[in-house]
Amino acid sequence: MPFDLQAYLANHREIINNALTRILDTTGQDNRLIEAMRYSLMANGKRLRPILCMAAAEAVGGPTGAVVPAACALEMIHTYSLIHDDLPAMDNDDLRRGKPTSHVKFNEATAILAGDALLTLAFQVLATAKKGEQGDELKRLAVIARIARAAGYLGMIEGQMQDMAYENQQLTQEELEKMHGLKTGVLIRASIASGAILAGGNDLQLDHLDEYARSIGLAFQITDDILNVEGDPTIMGKAVGTDHLRSKSTYPSLLGLAPSKEYARQCIQKAIKALQSFDQQAEPLRAIARYVLDRQR
């Protein structure tokens, strides 16, 4: 019987959404800041990073329940980055996940604070797991350090700095891949590593999973660039053509549309090959790799 990816994604999204709702509900507050946090966090996101975290745990034979707090933290960090990236001082976007962006819905100050609050809450969740959750303490500390590095000045933040600095410049393919490896790739890699570490994966498994993560992270960004050219904004929930308007270097502008699609396919083939030593428990990761290539949003 073929693997049913859509059922798998729906099931895991429900687990993550329920857990995120519980986290926000246990703050004990219901004010404008919580409303802004909930507005962006509970929008119609793909939940790709937390699902990858859970799928990596499954691939190494571990229980997914133990990684749910880390998976939620990763989604909070991702959402915070979107809120800040959408701000007028950065990408100045009005639409995200089919809804007005946070600064449009509320105001700039509230959006900044909501992003800050989600980032901080993510590390609170990581650091305060209940007994029996998220594995032993050393594994949890290793995951916290890895996620902090990915989200910080050596990862996503530097990637965003480069993205803004390189507007109106034509980058080489090497420069473009380095930038997106920081802006997009590092959190995807941290998501997969976190799930595998907490579930007891060994060093060889972690190496293979990191190769998988590098490849799908690159494919994800290439596909994002392609969708910005020819995607359907009603499906994507955000505007298209914005990369061209901002004079950003993208894979289609550098390689062309058809070669970009072929390069994305090669990345996915490489990702699936990295999983050849894993058994059927890694089938969700293989299916997610194909989904990254074929997605419409």
Query: Any idea where the domains of the chain sit in the sequence?
Result: 5-294
Place of tokens 């901080």: 120
* Superfamily of domain covering 5-294: Farnesyl Diphosphate Synthase (1.10.600.10)
pLDDT reading at 132 higher than 60? no
Q: How far is residue 125's CA from residue 266's CA, in Å, rounded to a whole number?
A: 37
Tell me the pLDDT of the chain averaged across its residues. Answer: 92
The predicted structure's pLDDT at residue 135: 57
pTM of the model as a whole: 0.94
Q: Where are the strands (E) in the chain, listed by range?
A: 95-96, 99-100
Reported as a single tens digit per residue, the pLDDT across 237-294 is 777 888 888 888 899 999 999 999 999 999 999 999 999 999 999 999 999 999 998 8
User: What Cα–Cα distance (Å) separates residue 221 from each residue in 27, 72, 154, 214, 293?
Assistant: 34, 22, 19, 11, 10
Reported as a single tens digit per residue, the pLDDT across 251-266 is 999 999 999 999 999 9
Closest CA to 164 of 104, 267, 236, 91: 91
